[in-house]
């Protein structure tokens, strides 16, 4: 009956209980909602980076990552592509020539990174071809085609069929230049990327640079990013010999972009921090409310002690009441958060006008919320801990009541 007294006591001052429950609810909604937003944003950034820029795993000549020197190439690239393509987790593998260059038109010039790719291979690895909004992606039957990003096209005033001149140092160090015809323009959510990356056919770039049969990079994409380290390990053991003799170096996207990885961790850290701060504030509100309730019920508690309710039971009664208060709010809050997160996970939250600023740093203007199961579980545990911690002080206060003093006030 003690639990039932505690539960009914909760509803004695309905307004007060509702305020606390609502506060806990809103607090959790805020904590989980903001995590959903941040995780969603970062997740999209990571997925975009993997899909359009990084792919999951890359192979290079070991020195290439330190210094994009044109002669740090991988020989015999097709052996790696063959092995990778045999793995069921692998969606595609693409070999690339990469070369820094000056891109210019009659009006302006800017530095870019030229990617020489085999269109059919590259399409399986990066999603750039899906981001082409004008013209089309590279095909085999065009004459010296190039696909450029929207930002670059704007800057250099390029249109479909515009001529783009690239100037670069070839494998012997001689400055050469070549002309490409713009066949397509793409736009990702990352303007910085769009401004600096252009795509041509590998053979066209090979002719210009004097590199044939060798590549700078092999990018491997997977069906599921979760399998990155698994495939990394498989590839590492398949190519143990080539790695040992320093022919290649193999890296995951996390190793290639450690900032991206640490951004995920920072996001999680701040989400937890935020939630904990919210819960601490809520704990104080709960403690105050319960202390007030106990002072109001001083005489009643004194009476219970007088007729023989022992300390353990008084403590339990107040503790349960506090727990109910926190847990009702917590559960409702978690359920509502789940609903909110699911809604925005499906429909997305649109920034509208703010979005153009966001895309400069690689974020989409619509954020699809995401909250991991782990975060929900942690939230639930943190709510429970908060409930228990905030129930201790009011329960002890109740024990400190002296029945005689309370009884005096009865009469």
In the complex, the residues that contact another protein under the rule CB under 8 A are 1, 5, 8-9, 12, 299-300, 303-311, 313, 403-404, 407-408, 410-411
Least CB distance to another protein at residue 9 (A): 6
Closest CB to another protein among 57 and 304? 304
Look at residues 186, 118, 138 and name the one whose alpha carbon lies nearest to residue 158.
186
User: With contact defined as beta carbons under 8 Å apart, do 134 and 187 qualify?
Assistant: no
Backbone phi and psi for residue 181, each to the nearest 5 degrees, phi listed first: -105, 130
Distances in whole angstroms, Cα of residue 206 to Cα of each of 175, 210, 368:
14, 5, 41
Least CB distance to another protein at residue 308 (A): 3
Least CB distance to another protein at residue 15 (A): 16
User: With contact defined as beta carbons under 8 Å apart, do 74 and 219 qualify?
Assistant: no
DSSP states of 17-46: HHHHHHHHHHHHHHHHHHHHHHHHHHHHHH
* C-alpha to C-alpha distance for 405 and 303, rounded to whole angstroms: 10
Closest CB to another protein among 246 and 408? 408
Least CB distance to another protein at residue 387 (A): 21
Closest CB to another protein among 6 and 183? 6
* C-alpha to C-alpha distance for 32 and 370, rounded to whole angstroms: 10
Helices (H) and strands (E) in the chain, counts: 16, 14
Backbone phi and psi for residue 201, each to the nearest 5 degrees, phi listed first: -75, 145
Least CB distance to another protein at residue 300 (A): 6
Closest CB to another protein among 20 and 70? 20
Least CB distance to another protein at residue 311 (A): 7
Closest CB to another protein among 246 and 311? 311
Closest CB to another protein among 160 and 404? 404
């Amino acid at each position: 009956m003690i639990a039932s007294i505690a539960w009914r006591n909760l509803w004695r001052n309905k307004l007060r209980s509702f305020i606390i429950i609502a506060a806990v609810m809103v607090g959790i909604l805020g904590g989980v909602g903001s995590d959903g937003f941040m995780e969603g944003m970062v997740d999209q950034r990571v997925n975009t980076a993997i899909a359009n820029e990084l792919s999951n795993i890359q192979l290079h000549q070991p020195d290439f990552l330190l210094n994009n020197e044109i002669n740090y190439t991988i020989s015999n690239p097709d052996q790696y592509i063959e092995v990778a393509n045999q793995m069921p987790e692998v969606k595609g593998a693409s070999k690339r020539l990469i070369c820094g260059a000056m891109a210019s038109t009659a009006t302006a010039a800017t530095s870019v990174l030229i990617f020489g790719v085999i269109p059919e291979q590259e399409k399986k690895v990066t999603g750039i071809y899906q981001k082409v909004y004008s013209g089309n992606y590279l095909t085999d039957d065009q004459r010296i085609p190039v696909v450029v990003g929207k930002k670059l096209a704007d800057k250099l005033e390029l249109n479909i069929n515009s001529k783009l001149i690239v100037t670069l140092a070839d494998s012997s160090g001689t400055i050469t230049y070549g002309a490409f015809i713009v066949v397509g323009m793409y736009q990702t959510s990352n303007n910085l990327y769009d401004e600096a990356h252009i795509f041509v056919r590998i053979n066209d770039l090979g002719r210009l640079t004097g590199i044939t049969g060798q590549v700078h990079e092999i990018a491997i994409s997977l069906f599921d990013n979760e399998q990155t380290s698994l495939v990394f390990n498989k590839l590492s053991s398949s190519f143990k010999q080539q790695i040992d003799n320093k022919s290649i170096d193999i890296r995951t996207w996390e190793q290639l972009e450690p900032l991206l990885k640490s951004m995920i961790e920072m996001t999680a850290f701040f989400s937890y921090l935020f939630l904990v701060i919210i819960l601490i504030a809520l704990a104080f509100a709960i403690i105050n409310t319960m202390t007030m309730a106990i002072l109001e019920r001083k005489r009643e508690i004194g009476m219970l002690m007088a007729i023989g309710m022992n300390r353990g039971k008084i403590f339990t009664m107040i503790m349960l009441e506090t727990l109910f208060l926190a847990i009702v709010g917590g559960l409702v809050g978690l359920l509502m958060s789940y609903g909110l997160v699911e809604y925005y996970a499906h429909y997305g939250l649109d920034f509208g006008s703010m979005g153009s600023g966001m895309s400069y740093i690689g974020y989409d203007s619509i954020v699809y919320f995401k909250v991991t199961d782990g975060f929900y579980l942690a939230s639930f545990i943190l709510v429970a801990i908060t409930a228990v911690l905030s129930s201790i002080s009011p329960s002890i206060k109740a024990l400190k009541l002296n029945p005689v003093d309370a009884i005096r006030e009865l009469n």
